[in-house]
Amino acid sequence: MIDIPERFIFMKVGNHAGESWEDILKRKRKEFEETGMTFWGYGGGACHPISQVQPFARLSLKEQGGILLVMEPVDSRADPDIVPAREYSSDGIEWVPIPKGITVTGSRHALVLDEIKPGSLDLPLNELEVGIGPSTGKAAETYLKGRTDKGCLVKSSKPRKVEEGEKYKLVRKVGFTAELRDPFAVLLR
């Protein structure tokens, strides 16, 4: 088990119909070997690359020397999206081609990662809160209810009390981790 960092990015990640976790990791490892980095595509309002992930990661770099993505794998039956992004941008101004060997499909945003490694970690959401943006300070268990499946999280200064028997409900099981690397997160098109 690894320790819970002071600040980190949490993401629920789904495999796709027809592709197992082993396959995904194999594919991503190959991308990493060929290009020295990996793009992890995502979408939605939370964790915007420029207004949230980048400033959060820069702060974390200053405070703890790096920033970790922790992933909770879930089974999803969604069909894989097929349209690959062609360009990426770290500021929305300059766009450059996505390096040969990297494929990201069906996403508007991507985290830029080092190697993805298996690593187990139990995250008690009642001890965490949102660390950036308009939801700063919001309890992680409330934030990650409903439509939101990811967040820039920090250890909470005010952990919520939970009955011993109820604790398991608020624990998220992390199966994989990866360090983010500069520029941490990008826009895709």
Partner 1 sequence: MSVDFRACLYALSDVIINRPKPLRHFDQIYMKLPDMLLQAELISRWFDGKSVLFIGDGDAIGLAVTHLAALELLPGRPQHITVLDFDERVVNSVNRFAEDYGESDWIRASLYNVADALPKDFWHAANAFYTNPPWGASNNGSSVKAFIERGIEGVQADALGCIVIGDHPSYQWTHEVQVATQNILLEAGFRVAEMLPEFHRYHLDDDPELTSCSLIVQRQTDTLDDSYTSRPLSAEHKANFYGSNSPLLVQYVRDPTNGGKLASRDVTLERLETTNND
Q: Under the rule (CB under 8 A), what is the footprint of partner 1?
A: 44-46, 48, 50-51, 54-56, 58-59, 91-93, 132-138, 143, 147-148, 151, 187
Handedness of CA 95, 101, 104, 109 (dihedral sign): negative
Q: Are 163 and 85 in contact (CB under 8 A)?
A: no
Mention every residue, 6+ apart, whose C-beta is less than 8 A from residue 158: 129
Q: Which is nearer to partner 1, 37 or 61 (CB)?
A: 61
Q: Which is nearer to partner 1, 12 or 48 (CB)?
A: 48
Q: Exposed, middle or buried by CB within 10 Å (0-12, 13-18, 19+), for 61?
A: middle
The distance of closest approach from Cβ of residue 51 to partner 1 in the complex, given in angstroms and rounded to an integer, is 6
Q: Which is nearer to partner 1, 24 or 50 (CB)?
A: 50
The distance of closest approach from Cβ of residue 62 to partner 1 in the complex, given in angstroms and rounded to an integer, is 8
Q: Which is nearer to partner 1, 120 or 136 (CB)?
A: 136
The distance of closest approach from Cβ of residue 56 to partner 1 in the complex, given in angstroms and rounded to an integer, is 8
Half-sphere exposure of 96 (CA within 13 A, CB side): 6
Q: Are 153 and 130 in contact (CB under 8 A)?
A: yes
The distance of closest approach from Cβ of residue 46 to partner 1 in the complex, given in angstroms and rounded to an integer, is 4
